[in-house]
Structures are given as structure tokens and as C-alpha cells.
Amino acid sequence: MKIVILMASPNRSGSTAILAEQFKKGAEEAGHTAEMLEVCKLKINPCTGCVACGYEGECVQRDDNAVIRQKLLSCDMVVFATPLYYYGMSAQLKAVVDRFCAYNGSLNRRHLKSALLTVAWNTADWTFDALEAHYKTLVRYINFEDMGMVLGYGCGTPSMTRSGKYPEAAYRLGRAL
């Protein structure tokens, strides 16, 4: 299986990256190929809502979203890896998701597998409610097959994350594919 990981933390050595790397390691050990796309290093403009794409054509914007589009339309699984920012995904990942508009039908027909990897400082039981609901709605709308989520509570620093159970959970999720 060909996996694309949309790593959406601007902190390349932070807690989100730890989970993404562990997932990748597990998936590769299971025989899959996994490519990490650092969306924060790409130039992704927000969707303007112009609908020039007709919801299934080329976007009029000339940016790095074309790379993401090509990768997603040629893979078997997408992994959303994001820190929790004010109870949602990072702005960088949200811009990518909003640009799905131009190839929504193609994504839908692919029936991709998907997963969510996320971390937060907070430990309250409601911490991930909004992000989890958004992810589940995205899965349903785009006809993804959810393979699982790792919700990293109390992962405020890389050392907190490394010493917790979530890197192993991300590894196991990747390995179980």
C-alpha cells in the first residue's frame, strides 16, 4: 500500500512529528511505502471559492497544492498528522483540506484509507472532540475508510510525548495496516 502522510506541524521536531515518524516506521516495517509531505514547507494558498475548477478540474491557483493533489490521487491511504490548535487542525492542514474542493469527486472515487495522528497539551476528556468530529465528517464525506486515530493527550513537549504511550500507539497503527 502506498501511504501519504500530510505532516502539518510547523515544528519539525515536535510531538506531531514524533507520532508521524513512528507511524511511518510501523507502516514501512509492515511492507508499505510511506511518504511524508511537510505541508508547512509547501506554498498552499487558501481556497478562494471561485469554483473555476468546477469541483473536479484544475485549480486556477498556481501553488504547491498540485503536488498534494497528484500524491493523493496516486496513493492508497492518507494520514492527517496535526497538532491541535484551538481545538482543530493546524491552519496549514486546513488549507490543504479546503483545496480538496478541486478534486473532490476524484478523491471520493479513490476510496482511500485514512488515519488521524494528533497531539495536544491538554488532558481533558473533551480535548479532541471538535477535531475528531471534523475528521469523522471528512471521512464520511470523501468516502475514506478510517483505519484509526491516535489522540495524544498531554503531549505538550517532545519529551512528554516520547515518554508517553502515544508514539507506540502510532507505530502499532502503522504496523497493523
CATH number, domain at 77?
Answer: 3.40.50.360
Long-range CB pairs of 48-55 (<8 Å, 24+ gap) are 51/101, 53/101, 53/102, 53/103, 55/101, 55/102, 55/104, 55/105
The reported pLDDT for the residue numbered 55 is 87
The reported pLDDT for the residue numbered 169 is 98
Question: CA 97, CA 94: separation in Å to the nearest integer?
Answer: 5
Q: Beta strand 2-7 with 77-83: parallel, antiparallel or unpaired?
A: parallel
Neighbours of 42 (CB within 10 A): 16
Neighbours of 52 (CB within 10 A): 12
The total number of structural domains in the chain stands at: 1
> What's the pLDDT tens digit per position in 142-170?
999 999 999 999 999 999 999 999 999 99
* Regions of the chain short of the pLDDT cut 50: none
Whose CA is closest to 158, among 115, 121, 116, 112?
121
Domain that holds residue 15: 2-175
Question: CA 106, CA 35: separation in Å to the nearest integer?
Answer: 20
> pTM of this prediction?
0.97
The reported pLDDT for the residue numbered 20 is 98
